[in-house]
Amino acid sequence: MEKSKLHINGADGFRAIACLLVLYHHLTQKMNPDSAPEWFKPIHHFGMRGEVGVSLFFVLSGALLSYPYWRSLFTTESKPRIAHYALARVARIVPATWLNLIFCTLIALFIYDIPVNFKMLFSGLFFINSYHYSTFFPAELNGPLWSIGLEVSCYILLPIVLFFILKMAKNFLAAFAALTLWIAVNQFIINPWVIERFMTSQDGKGWDKGLVGGAKEWLPYWNVVSFFSQFLIGALAALMIAKLASSSQGKKFYFDGGAILLILAAIALVGVRLTPGAPDSFSRQPYLSPFYALLMAFALVAVSQSVFLFKVIDNRFFVWVSQISFGIYLWHQVVQNILQRSFKENYVYFGVTDLQEWGLLSAIIIVLAFAIAALSWKFFEKPILVAARRKMVTNAE
């Protein structure tokens, strides 16, 4: 299948936004809001809620990975081979994550005298860190690695779900109903059971106890069932996009308006309801799931069919950020932690009290994170992906 057929308008822009939200969140955490001027406090308020970028990443991954499968439902195109799917995911995730994890482990050991925790290291290398609080954060210097194990679990589960749905569903309505049912079962049956069954004890619980204590605070709310639901919500969006793409109606202006309203609703929801670092009081899930995920998934559908808005969202800068977004996600907090441990002891949670100092430190981290990510993409990630694609083409022949 041609690449153009698999492109979803707005997806690059949404990925860039997700990446920048997470970066914004981790930068904002270092500034003490009580020491900030009044005009900065709304900026800080929304920055602390930029963690929803993680949810948007999962929605996008679910949409982009399922889209080729949904197209086979409405066209004569064949479904992707599972071997090609697996090779593409391995090439995209494994080398960059391993490089980052090994780097963090070695720097922690030889520069900061932090002994190697082999249980954490191997759980991270094999992407099984997300299932227990003792391994949830596999690297002392890089907290965001927690999500990679959950992402890989979703990669494995997605083809299984799609296999059963596409085996039974022969049209859009049947597929939509089956996928909606799967999401509902996850949301209302499996996820509540997981939370009750695997609730962590109060012993050693809390962010003041370090990363393991913080993981006990998050688990079992930050579980694979919740994140797979967000993943499947993205797949639901892709199903709708594939259906719309197969029709001859063309793009309509009302999609532009609908997308703007949905995005504004998502922003309002986050600004009013989200408590940073805590599950939602109603759904008991992170990042206001499934409400935020649904709003952004439907926004992606609307943007993909928009006349002008997708051009704004998929601007050149966002397309470039999207390209290097995985590297930014992997490396920005490594830079933050090295800066804190080696140069600025007060660069901790709410530790910076001077806004100008915070702005300068943030600028340094942004420049370094973008530079490392760009170099990683050009000289490490991209060559591996190109080699993987060549392998897939050779196998197809």
pLDDT, one tens digit per residue, over 10-40 is 999 999 999 999 999 999 999 999 999 999 9
Peptide linkage before 42 cis (omega within 30 of 0): no
Separation CA 120–CA 143 (nearest Å) = 12
Q: What values do phi and psi take at 31, rounded to 5?
A: -90, 130
What band does 356 get if pLDDT is binned at 50, 70 and 90? very high
Q: Is the pLDDT of residue 2 over 60?
A: no
Q: Is the pLDDT of residue 73 over 60?
A: yes
Instruction: Take residue 167 and report the two structure tokens written for it.
Output: 């085996």
Q: Is the pLDDT of residue 252 over 90?
A: no
Residues of the chain with pLDDT > 70: what percent?
97
Distance of CA 271 to the CA centre of its chain: 19
Mean pLDDT confidence for 336-340: 98
Q: Is the pLDDT of residue 391 over 80?
A: yes
Q: Is the pLDDT of residue 379 over 50?
A: yes
Separation CA 108–CA 83 (nearest Å) = 36
pLDDT digits (tens, 9 = 90+) for 86-105: 999 999 999 999 999 999 99
The pLDDT value recorded for residue 138 is: 97
Q: Is the pLDDT of residue 308 over 90?
A: yes
The pLDDT value recorded for residue 77 is: 83
Separation CA 201–CA 209 (nearest Å) = 13
Instruction: Take residue 141 and report the two structure tokens written for it.
Output: 């210097």
Average pLDDT, the chain: 95
Mean pLDDT confidence for 106-113: 97
List beta partners, residue 352: 31
Peptide linkage before 220 cis (omega within 30 of 0): yes
Separation CA 60–CA 116 (nearest Å) = 34
Check if the beta carbon of residue 367 is closer than 8 Å to that of residue 337: no
Distance of CA 238 to the CA centre of its chain: 16
Q: How many residues does the chain have?
A: 397
Separation CA 73–CA 80 (nearest Å) = 12
Spatial CA neighbour of 16 closest among 283, 301, 313: 313
End-to-end CA distance of the chain: 14
Q: Is the pLDDT of residue 395 over 80?
A: no
Separation CA 234–CA 241 (nearest Å) = 11
pLDDT digits (tens, 9 = 90+) for 254-276: 999 999 999 999 999 999 999 99
Separation CA 377–CA 18 (nearest Å) = 18
Q: Is the pLDDT of residue 113 over 80?
A: yes
The pLDDT value recorded for residue 75 is: 85
Burial (CB count within 10 angstroms: exposed 0-12, middle 13-18, buried 19+), residue 96: buried
The pLDDT value recorded for residue 368 is: 99
Q: Could you list the residue range(s) of the whole structural domain that residue 269 is in?
A: 3-396
Check if the beta carbon of residue 145 is closer than 8 Å to that of residue 101: yes
Q: Is the pLDDT of residue 393 over 90?
A: no
CB contact set of 172 (below 8 Å; sequence gap of 6+)? 73, 74, 239, 243
Residues of the chain with pLDDT > 90: what percent?
91
Q: Is the pLDDT of residue 1 over 80?
A: no
What band does 385 get if pLDDT is binned at 50, 70 and 90? very high
The total of structural domains in the chain comes to: 1
Alpha helices in the chain (DSSP H): 3-6, 11-28, 41-47, 52-74, 82-110, 118-125, 146-168, 172-185, 191-197, 211-218, 224-246, 253-273, 291-304, 309-313, 316-323, 325-342, 355-376, 382-396
pLDDT digits (tens, 9 = 90+) for 144-160: 999 999 999 999 999 99
